[in-house]
Chain A
C-alpha cells in the first residue's frame, strides 16, 4: 500500500512536516538514554534552573536535567501510544471483519455491542477503568484500548461490506477458498489503507489521552517521568520557572501535531480529496 501511494505521499507538505515532528520525538526517545547521561540524582542547588548550554531544557524541581526526563517521557509516550493502537487495531479489525463478513444477525449483534461502547464518552470510561485498575503503565494501555478498538471495528466492517461482493472475492470463493483465506488474503489487503489512516490519527488521540491521564496522576505510580506528569509538576511553579510546564507541553503538541499531519497526508493521497 505504501509503495502504491508513495509518489502521491511524498509530494505533500503535510507528510514532510509530520515526519519531521515525529522524527524529532523518535530521535529524542531513541538517543535519549545514550546522549544525556545525566544522573537522576537530586541536586537542590540547581532546582528549577533555567536552560543553559549543557542542559538546554533546564532543570526540574528536584534539580534534575529536564531534557533527560523529557527523553524518557518520549519513550513512555511512544510505547503507550504504539502498543495501544496496535492492540485496538488488531482487536477492532478482527471484530469488524468477522461482523462484516458474516452479516445477518451476528453482524447486527456485534455492531450493537460496538454502539454501546460508543455511547460512553470514551475518555471518562478510560479514566474510570484506569483509576479503578490502579495506576500502572499496562493498565493505562488496557484502559485506552478498551474504548479505542470500536472505531477500528466500524471502519473495518464498513470496508469489508464494500468489498466482499466484488468479483475477485466471488471468484476466489467459487474455486473453494476457505473463509479464513478469503478474509486474510483477499479482504484484509483491500481494507488496509483506511485502517492505517485511522491508526495514524488514533496515535495522536492516544498521546493526548495518555498525557491527560498522567497529568491527573492516574497513569503511573512508578515515578516514570511522562510528559503529562512533568507538566503537572511544573504547573505549580509556572511563575518562577515557566519552562517546566512549557517544554513538556510543546513536546506533547509536537507529537500530536506530527501524527495528525501524517494522517492528513495519508488520507489526502489515498482518497485524493480535493487536493
Chain B
C-alpha cells in the first residue's frame, strides 16, 4: 500500500510540470500579442519594443516557456495585465468560495443521489423505479444554466423562500449548490441503483441475510459498502466536470469564486490570469484523480495492489 501510494504521488509531479508547460504555451496559439492589448492601437514602435523586452517576449519560445514553468513552480505566477495585481494573490482570494460551492454540491449529490438509487434498486422493475430513473436521467441531461434560472424563478421569485444569491449564509448556498450538484446527483443515483442491483444478487447478500442480520443492517453495512466503491469513483471522476460547471454556476449566481474570476479574465483577455486559473483548476483536478485512486484502493478490498505494482 505504501509503495503504491508513494509511487502514485511521485508520478503526478511530472504531470504537473507538463500541464504548467502546456498552459504556458497556450498563449502562443492566440492571434495577436499582449503588447497590443496593453498599449492599444496608437503606441509608438519604441514603446512596443520596450514593453516586449520587459515582458520577456523578445526571447525564444523555449526560453520564455522554461522561465514561465520555473516561475510557476517557485510561486511567481506573474501579474495581471490589466490590474497589475499578483496572479497568485487574486487566485488565493477566490479559491475558497469555489471550494465551498464544489464541496457542498458534492454533498448535495450524495444526499439526494444515494437514497434515490437505493430506493429504485429495491423496487427494481416497478413503476417507481422507472419514474426515479427517468427523473435522474432528466437531471443528468438538464444543462445547469437552465436549472439555475428555473430554481431562481420557482424558489426565489414565485415562492419567495430562498435568496437568489447571498454569499456567506447557509440559505444563500442552497440554490447554487443544488444547481451545481443537480446533474451529479442524477449520475450518482443511476450508479448507486446499478451497483445495488448487482450486489443484492450476489452471495454475500444472501449469506448476510442467512446468518440472521436484519435487512436494514445488511443494506447499510454490506450493500452500501459495495456501492460506495462505485459512488466514490464516479464522484472523483466527475470532479472535473463539476469544476467546469462551477464556472457557469458562479456566473449565474454571481458567486465570488474562481469561475467568475476566470470568466472575467477571459473576456478581458488577461492572459496571465487565465493561465493561472487554468493551472489551479487542472491542479485540483489532478489532485482529485490522485485521491480517487488512493481511496479506491482503500475502499475496494478486491483491488489487488500486487497486480498494480507489477
Contacts and interface: CB of A to CB of B under 8 A. Distances in A.
A235 B248 CA distance: 13
Interface string A235-275: 10011001001101100110011001100000000000000
Contacts of B143: 208, 211-212, 215, 249, 252-253, 256
A120 B22 CA distance: 10
- Size bracket, chain B contacts: 35 or more
Given A132-B26, A256-B143, A212 B285 contact: no
A119 B262 CA distance: 19
A227 to B, nearest CB: 9
B241 interface: yes
Interface residues of A, number: 41
B281 A121 contact: yes
Nearest to B32: A134
Interface string B263-294: 10011010100100110011001100100000
B174 interface: no
Contacts of A248: 146
Nearest to B16: A119
A252 B141 CA distance: 9
A252 B146 contact: yes
Contact of B26 (A128, A238, A252): A128
Contacts of B29: 129, 132-133
Contacts of A211: 143, 145
A124 interface: yes
Most chain A beta-carbon neighbours within 10 Å: one of B27, B248, B286: B248
A132 B25 CA distance: 12
A133 B32 CA distance: 10
B142 A127 contact: no
Interface stretch (B79-87, B112-120, B150-158, B211-219): B150-158
A271 to B, nearest CB: 14
Nearest to B130: A13
Most chain B beta-carbon neighbours within 10 Å: one of A116, A120, A253: A120
Contacts of B271: 132
A238 B27 contact: no
A11 interface: no
B282 A245 contact: no
B297 interface: no
B13 to A, nearest CB: 12
Contacts of A134: 31
Contacts of B141: 204, 253, 256-257, 260
Contacts of A253: 138, 141-143, 146
Contacts of A242: 153
B65 interface: no
A128 B145 CA distance: 19
B281 A124 contact: yes
Interface string B127-159: 000000000011011110110011011000100
A217 B19 CA distance: 27
B244 interface: yes
A124 B19 contact: no
A228 interface: yes
A217 B247 CA distance: 13
A127 B266 contact: yes
A120 to B, nearest CB: 5
A176 B150 CA distance: 63
B240 A121 contact: yes
A95 B266 CA distance: 31
A232 B143 CA distance: 12
Given A235-B149, A256-B141, A124 B31 contact: no
B18 interface: yes
Contacts of A232: 145
A119 B278 CA distance: 12
Interface string B16-49: 0011001000110111000000000000000000
A120 B285 contact: yes
Contact of B266 (A123, A218, A235, A246): A218
Contacts of B27: 132
A42 interface: no
B134 to A, nearest CB: 10
A99 B149 CA distance: 45
B251 interface: yes
B279 to A, nearest CB: 10
30 contacts: A115-B15, A116-B18, A119-B15, A120-B22, A121-B241, A121-B244, A121-B285, A124-B262, A124-B277, A124-B278, A127-B244, A128-B278, A129-B29, A131-B267, A132-B27, A132-B30, A132-B274, A133-B29, A133-B30, A204-B141, A212-B145, A215-B248, A216-B263, A235-B149, A239-B153, A239-B157, A245-B150, A249-B142, A252-B143, A256-B141
Interface of B: 15, 18-19, 22, 26-27, 29-31, 137-138, 140-143, 145-146, 149-150, 152-153, 157, 240-241, 243-245, 247-248, 251-252, 262-263, 266-267, 269, 271, 274, 277-278, 281-282, 285-286, 289
Interface of A: 115-116, 119-125, 127-129, 131-134, 204, 208, 211-212, 215-218, 228, 231-232, 235, 238-239, 242, 245-246, 248-249, 252-253, 256-257, 260-261
